Structure 1
Amino acid sequence: MPFTWPLDPQDLFAERYPQMTLALPAAEVDAVRAAVTEMWPDRPGGWVYEWSALAARHAAAGRHREAAQAYGWAKFPSLADGPKRTALARQVEQYVLAAPGFPVEFERRSLTVPYRGGTATLPVHLMAAPGLPADAPVLLASGGVDSWKADLHGVWEQLALALPARLLLFDLAGTGETAHLPMTPDGGAEVIEGLIAFARTIGNGTVGHFGISMGGYYSARSGLSGTVDAAVVLGGPVERSFAPGRGFAFGMDGIVGNALGFDEVPGRAEREEAFAAFDLRPLLDLAVNAPMLVVNGEDDVHVPRHDTLVFAGRRATRVELVPDTGHCAVSRFGEAMALIVPWLRLALIG
């Protein structure tokens, strides 16, 4: 069952402010920041209440895209209780209402993929530049444990308009609209393998994978195993992030604990046992990887620098650390995308 945990909302504002202001005016974010005094209660001063109030104002004015972004922050950082799940449902509703105004082709559909001897169904979004030919490459893309497909719309829109590829956007197992499936190394990867198989049927057969944060763990896995034709890892944990003794910052213990399916914040022994299975060292020891681009900020508090630099010297692999920025280079995101977009264009079409 999902759980709440002690969390100071002002810590989240301190860490996520650059991300919040990518899609919402700073003045609006500042107003919510000043109003929020507690994390979980759904009442004035509560995180979900104040963000939802902003979202409702945008929705009432017909600004559905902004409403979807604000509801995205209302349900952040985890679907730990009923108000958070309600905020996610409202985000999806507003996002679908906004879709006719997107400058890209957009389709929302449900896909059924193999999962643990049976099947699992999850909503996905397909996005492409207007008029993109049907026989274009396909790029799988996802965020991480707390920023999901609708939250990162601006990133996907930028990619879709810049690349001759169709994007297949999804939430990782244990998160967002795929929260009904616990996040495990193999189970999460099996879902993605099903999405890759589908992607090979809707384009020219070429498939790439772009993952952000924990999504980067799975894109690293796809790239290292050669399951895709190209992989971009932005801020992905791969090895030392899962080592014994690693701690968490900014509430990530509860966020990750919920994604992994725990009923409460896991203790150290439980966490280390769960994390040991994620270590990608067995794949790092192979030399069968697809072309890969691995990027992160130099000062990441969540993912050790080692987990980026460990890719240095691999065949067909480029490694970049962006200076003076942290996790996923979010405060210098334009510079990260300036590396990623041309690399993907070349990797997907040659």
Structure 2
Amino acid sequence: MSFTWPLDPQDLFVERYPQMTLGLPADEVDAVRAAITEMWPDRPGSWVYEWSALAARYAEAGRHRLAAQAYGWAKFPSLADDPKRTALARQVEQYALAAPGFPVEFERRMLTVPYRGGEATLPIHLIAAPGLPADAPIVLASGGVDSWKTDLHGMWEQLALALPARLLLFDIVGTGETAHLPMTPDGGAEVIAGLVAFARTIGNGKVGHFGISMGGYYSARTGLTGAVDASVVLGGPVERSFAPGRGFAFGMDGIVGNALGFDAMPSTAEREEAFAAFDLRPLLDQNANGPMLVVNGTDDVHVPLDDTLVFEGRRDTRVELIPDTGHCAISRFGEAMAVIAPWLKDTLIG
């Protein structure tokens, strides 16, 4: 189930430009920005058309990594219609063609995990620094509702090269290549429990979990329940984000509505009912957490500051707020990684 909704494409450039230019040349992004006048139709001047045209030029030139990045923006911010789903398929295709040139070891495989009394199958990516021993720890890692495992490759590469650990990359339920499973608190947690169980069998038994944005909601869950040996929450919503009356910016209401499995824009009441189930207050009230690192920017328009500060004073928990940056500290990401990578290394390796 999916739907399109009224969205000014230029609003997305306002917020995401720093993220776009992390992976693509600024002049190319600027040219696409100037060409786009509408969001959903697949025709010249539309979001999916102009980004896909850039991606196709990269693909034709054999620049597969850049093509994968551009197709990633073509399918952004949600798999709301067939042109977006086509762009995702092309992104995966180009990413696979780029993989032999990665400076990290890379493997894509399909993994089946228990899900709601049956099974669910999803693609995962395993990446590691060249020559990493097989008995290294495993770190599960995911993005959020609109930036997925393939979109964030540059970040994962940086992390893999900084860690004596293998990364297991996946898309959270309701998103990306796991969009066939609706985003629910328990369903998402069950899929991740299956990934954790698998991860314990392929390394030295130690498992960490690094979640970004909505992925940070799920890493907060594994951290608060002590299900993993180290949990990093980067810009994760945990409590106040799910409270009644909260607002949405930059099209996030439609992005979230799609991930939750609605087939039309949910009413405020429908969304608030769905969100109520996500509130992590029952876990925050317990004292069962494993080692946790909670990081965000001070100026996040999506996740209230309280959802980071609520972790202050907990045992075995470190909280870091990065000033003068927004959601997930994306415009000062180097500073965030300078905290995250050493913490993961110390916590998992000792």
Q: TM-score, length-normalised on structure 2?
A: 1.00
Matched, 1:111 2:111: yes
Partner Cα separation in structure 1 for residue 180 and residue 241 of structure 2? 25
Partner Cα separation in structure 2 for residue 193 and residue 155 of structure 1? 24
Matched, 1:122 2:115: no
Tell me what 1:343 maps to.
343
Tell me what 1:41 maps to.
41
Tell me what 1:332 maps to.
332
Tell me what 1:77 maps to.
77
Q: Where do residues 219-230 of structure 1 align in structure 2 (5 Å cutoff)?
A: 219-230=219-230
Tell me what 1:232 maps to.
232
Tell me what 2:51 maps to.
51
Aligned residue identity for 1:45: G
Tell me what 1:3 maps to.
3
Aligned residue identity for 1:105: E
* Deviations 1:291-312 (CA, angstroms, capped at 9, x unpaired): 0000000000000000000000
Partner Cα separation in structure 2 for residue 319 and residue 21 of structure 1? 28
* 1:75 positional shift: 0.1
Partner Cα separation in structure 2 for residue 118 and residue 109 of structure 1? 20
Partner Cα separation in structure 2 for residue 307 and residue 232 of structure 1? 14
* Deviations 1:129-161 (CA, angstroms, capped at 9, x unpaired): 000000000000000000000000001000110
Secondary structure, counterpart of 2:216 in structure 1: helix
Secondary structure, counterpart of 1:122 in structure 2: strand
Partner Cα separation in structure 2 for residue 348 and residue 265 of structure 1? 42
* Deviations 1:76-102 (CA, angstroms, capped at 9, x unpaired): 000000000000000000000000000
- The size of the alignment, in residue pairs, is 350
Partner Cα separation in structure 2 for residue 290 and residue 8 of structure 1? 42
Secondary structure, counterpart of 2:232 in structure 1: strand
Tell me what 1:99 maps to.
99
Segments of 4+ in structure 1 off by > 3 A?
A: none
Secondary structure, counterpart of 1:336 in structure 2: helix
Matched, 1:312 2:318: no
Secondary structure, counterpart of 1:121 in structure 2: strand
Matched, 1:205 2:205: yes
Over the aligned positions, Cα root-mean-square deviation in angstroms equals 0.4
* Deviations 1:147-177 (CA, angstroms, capped at 9, x unpaired): 0000000010001101000000000000000
Partner Cα separation in structure 1 for residue 14 and residue 30 of structure 2? 11
Partner Cα separation in structure 2 for residue 40 and residue 23 of structure 1? 23
Secondary structure, counterpart of 1:232 in structure 2: strand
* 1:288 positional shift: 1.0
Matched, 1:183 2:170: no
Partner Cα separation in structure 2 for residue 276 and residue 2 of structure 1? 21
Secondary structure, counterpart of 1:220 in structure 2: helix
* Deviations 1:273-325 (CA, angstroms, capped at 9, x unpaired): 00000000010011110100000000000000000000000000000110000
Partner Cα separation in structure 2 for residue 338 and residue 164 of structure 1? 15
Secondary structure, counterpart of 1:311 in structure 2: coil
Secondary structure, counterpart of 1:29 in structure 2: helix
Tell me what 2:295 maps to.
295
Tell me what 2:65 maps to.
65
Aligned residue identity for 1:315: R
Partner Cα separation in structure 2 for residue 84 and residue 235 of structure 1? 26
Matched, 1:19 2:39: no
Matched, 1:148 2:140: no
Partner Cα separation in structure 2 for residue 266 and residue 221 of structure 1? 25
Aligned residue identity for 1:32: V
Secondary structure, counterpart of 2:196 in structure 1: helix
Identity rate, percent:
86
Partner Cα separation in structure 2 for residue 190 and residue 248 of structure 1? 27
Matched, 1:161 2:161: yes
Q: Extract unaligned runs of 5+ from structure 2.
A: none
Secondary structure, counterpart of 1:7 in structure 2: coil
Secondary structure, counterpart of 2:120 in structure 1: strand
Secondary structure, counterpart of 1:13 in structure 2: helix
* 1:58 positional shift: 0.3
Aligned residue identity for 2:176: G
* Deviations 1:88-124 (CA, angstroms, capped at 9, x unpaired): 0000000000000000000000000000000000000
* Deviations 1:53-84 (CA, angstroms, capped at 9, x unpaired): 00000000000000000000000000000000
Partner Cα separation in structure 2 for residue 324 and residue 235 of structure 1? 14
Secondary structure, counterpart of 1:38 in structure 2: coil
Partner Cα separation in structure 2 for residue 291 and residue 266 of structure 1? 37
Tell me what 1:276 maps to.
276
